[in-house]
Chains A and B, each alone.
Chain A
Amino acid sequence: MTFEMFLQHLANGISLGSLYALIAIGYTMVYGILRLINFAHGDIFMMATYFAFFGIMTFEMPWYISFIIAIILTGILGIGVERIAYKPLRTSPKISILISAIGVSYLLENLCIVLFNGKPKPFPTPNVFADMVRIGNISIQRLTFIIPVVTIILLVLLSYLVNNTKSGMAMRAVSKDQETAQLMGVDVNNTISFTFGIGSMLAAIGGLMWSLKFPQIQPLMGVMPGLKCFIAAVIGGIGNIKGAVIGGFLLGIGEILLVAFLQSLTGYRDAFAFILLILILLFKPTGIMGEKIAEKV
């Protein structure tokens, strides 16, 4: 393998990794605040691509307007899901909320199958993203560079939001201790809705980037990426935004390099994430950046 090819794979890995990171941040935010594996996250991500698809194809909007509308609609969808499916269960055992999340995931998938039928649809890729860029001897799609940049910009915005604004402070307070936060005058319900909205919008951006990179959308497309991004979040230490980014990059780059260097193992691509997850959990049970959780007696 030549050095150029290695660079090409690396660039691919970085762009896939930043996609994973983007979606993993959404997971991690929701988990950090509600301690809930939001199994519907992958399906929310899928819904965003359908919103954008119909915006472009049916309503003939320019892609950027359609994308913005899709992101906003997805945010609203996320808040709606939280209000309907998670809020009533906030005090019940964890497994009920988890089942509810699975129920939402089922519902969104099947609703999509009924409404838009299960056949994969080609996602329109604007030329801005699809054009090839040549560097020396290698040519790389422009999208490969755009995705990491988008991730970095969003990450900076997000850490500003979490660390330097009032809503961010409320989010941190709620994630530490809901009851105490409430006593201190934090509107817990609004904060949770806000977090869900932001998390879903991140999922939407991730989903749009995903469907630009793999331009085919179908109702079950969110399942595997959703699971992998959750794994990325766990690997990095769930609840930790930096951790999610590290986990995402580790997973994306690792996966691409595995396929590139050990081609006989290509079939095991989807297992790679799980193997990495289990190895890391065994040595660091709370993930790379995770804090040690004290056991309460």
Chain B
Amino acid sequence: MNKKFKLSNNMKLNILLLLILTVIIIIAQENLDEYKLRILNLCAIYTILGLSLNLINGFTGLFSLGHAGFMAIGAYTTALLTMPIAVKEKNFFMVPLISPLDKIVWPFLPSLLLGGALAAIVAFLIGAPVLRLKGDYLAIATLGFSEIIRVIFTNTQRLTNGALGLKDIPNKTNLYWSFGIAILTLIIIVSLINSSYGRALKAIREDEIAAENMGINLFKHKILAFTMGAFFAGIGGGLLGNLIGTIDPLMFRFFLTYNILLIIVLGGMGSITGTIVSSFIITISMEVLRFLDERINLGFVTIKGIPGLRMVIFSLLLMVVILFFRNGLMGAKELTWEVVLKRFSKKPLSKGGIQQ
């Protein structure tokens, strides 16, 4: 009785939050300037990417560094499918695009989904042999695969325009898409984690051998997490490509994976809410720190901007976080309504309903 009440209470609060968020998004999309919109979009996209990498690394304990590769697949698929024919011709002036693709123009959503699906298929094919490896070996093999994908994209000029990259990708990404998909990703991943699959994944993370002895099919669960993570990475990549408007293979170097890794480590490996919070913190602070690169006028003295100082400060902050807050912001904990509400009221929410 109590439990049911609590659940619906949570649900109500969730729906309320969702409604408030929707209103904020609508207002933001209509009123904010392009720069701020871009940052907000990036926050949502990094949330998607962070959640998907956290599913693989944080919840399943598979040390994968292949996210940039999957993102590249999604970004290129989405970009190639959504580009108008004229833009395609302009982009591929050196060598023409291969034949069926140069005539096809798809709407945004199916392109995104196909991008995600292709990333998932590649992840499945890669995962089958590679997921036998463990720890560092898995990390380096997945890193290797993402680099191979990048090198292939650099060299298949008729498909990807090679090192020149793609320009003038239609800016289909807006706050509705990015936040909508971020919320959808959140719902899907949370329900996966709270299902019996999720418990199996956590069991694998804690102790693989013990999990296997309990009858958990290691391979099936690992590949599920890996493929699903890659699917969302592909979608995140697609959103990113269509937000920025230009992509090239150099964008998808392993630095990109590191950035997402930082998000999940700062947020706490194995914490969903932590990932969301830190996606916003990292994306926004990367922008806020941009002033360091520019000229600072303090009235009486002008400090000459030093290009690159932003990244120095950023990496220093990262070191501080890793050295002094080892479990990230949240550890493996979640920010739940109980925790939030307890902060605001000293009284228990419903008598005896919460403290178990």
Known pairs A106-B311, A267-B154 / 10 extra A-B pairs, C-beta < 8 Å: A89-B326, A102-B262, A103-B315, A103-B318, A106-B314, A230-B140, A267-B151, A274-B145, A282-B129, A285-B137
Q: Which residues of A contact B155 (CB under 8 A)?
A: 267-268
> Which chain B residue shows the least CB distance to A97?
B322
Q: Judging by beta carbons under 8 Å apart, are A95 and B144 in contact?
A: no
| B97 CB-CB contact with A under 8 Å | no
Within A12-44, the residues touching B (CB, 8 Å) are 35, 37
Closest-CB distance, B94 to chain A (whole angstroms): 14
Q: Which residues of B contact A118 (CB under 8 A)?
A: 308
| B338 CB-CB contact with A under 8 Å | no
Asked if A94 meets B319 with Cβ closer than 8 Å, knowing A271-B148, A282-B129, the reply is no
Q: Judging by beta carbons under 8 Å apart, are A99 and B262 in contact?
A: yes
Closest-CB distance, A217 to chain B (whole angstroms): 17
Q: Which residues of A contact B139 (CB under 8 A)?
A: 37, 98
| B279 CB-CB contact with A under 8 Å | no
Q: Judging by beta carbons under 8 Å apart, are B308 and A110 in contact?
A: yes
27 sample A-B contacts, Cβ–Cβ < 8 Å, listed by A number: A35-B136, A37-B136, A37-B139, A85-B323, A94-B63, A94-B136, A95-B265, A96-B265, A98-B139, A100-B322, A103-B315, A103-B322, A107-B315, A107-B316, A110-B315, A114-B309, A234-B137, A274-B147, A275-B144, A275-B148, A278-B145, A281-B130, A281-B137, A281-B141, A285-B133, A285-B137, A295-B209
Q: Judging by beta carbons under 8 Å apart, are A103 and B319 in contact?
A: yes
Q: Which residues of A contact B132 (CB under 8 A)?
A: 282, 285
| B100 CB-CB contact with A under 8 Å | no
Q: Mask for B286-327, Cβ within 8 A of A = 1, else 0?
A: 000000000000000000001111011011101100110010
Tell me the bound Cα distance from A277 to B314 in angstroms: 32
Within A82-139, the residues touching B (CB, 8 Å) are 85, 88-89, 92-96, 98-100, 102-104, 106-107, 110-111, 113-114, 118
Closest-CB distance, A290 to chain B (whole angstroms): 10
Q: Mask for A236-266, Cβ within 8 A of B = 1, else 0?
A: 0010000000000000000000000000000
| A270 CB-CB contact with B under 8 Å | yes
Which of B132, B135, B147, B262 has the largest number of chain A CB atoms within 10 A? B147
Residues of B within 8 A of A (CB): 57, 63, 129-130, 132-133, 135-137, 139-141, 143-145, 147-148, 151-152, 154-155, 209-210, 258, 261-262, 265, 269, 306-309, 311-312, 314-316, 318-319, 322-323, 326
Closest-CB distance, B348 to chain A (whole angstroms): 35
| A205 CB-CB contact with B under 8 Å | no
Q: Give 6 closest A-B pairs by Cβ, nearest first.
A: A274-B144, A106-B315, A271-B151, A110-B311, A267-B155, A113-B308
Tell me the bound Cα distance from A113 to B310 in angstroms: 11
Tell me the bound Cα distance from A113 to B311 in angstroms: 10
Tell me the bound Cα distance from A149 to B148 in angstroms: 33
Tell me the bound Cα distance from A99 to B143 in angstroms: 15
Q: Judging by beta carbons under 8 Å apart, are B269 and A95 in contact?
A: yes
Tell me the bound Cα distance from A132 to B309 in angstroms: 43
Checking B63, B147, B315 against A271 with a beta-carbon cut-off of 8 angstroms, the contacting residue is: B147
| A297 CB-CB contact with B under 8 Å | yes
Asked if A104 meets B319 with Cβ closer than 8 Å, knowing A37-B140, A267-B155, A268-B155, the reply is yes
Checking B136, B141, B323 against A278 with a beta-carbon cut-off of 8 angstroms, the contacting residue is: B141
Closest-CB distance, A283 to chain B (whole angstroms): 10
Q: Which residues of B contact A230 (CB under 8 A)?
A: 140
Tell me the bound Cα distance from A15 to B111 in angstroms: 47
Q: Which residues of A contact B322 (CB under 8 A)?
A: 89, 96, 99-100, 103
> Which chain A residue shows the least CB distance to B316?
A107
> Which chain A residue shows the least CB distance to B312?
A110
Q: Which residues of A contact B154 (CB under 8 A)?
A: 267
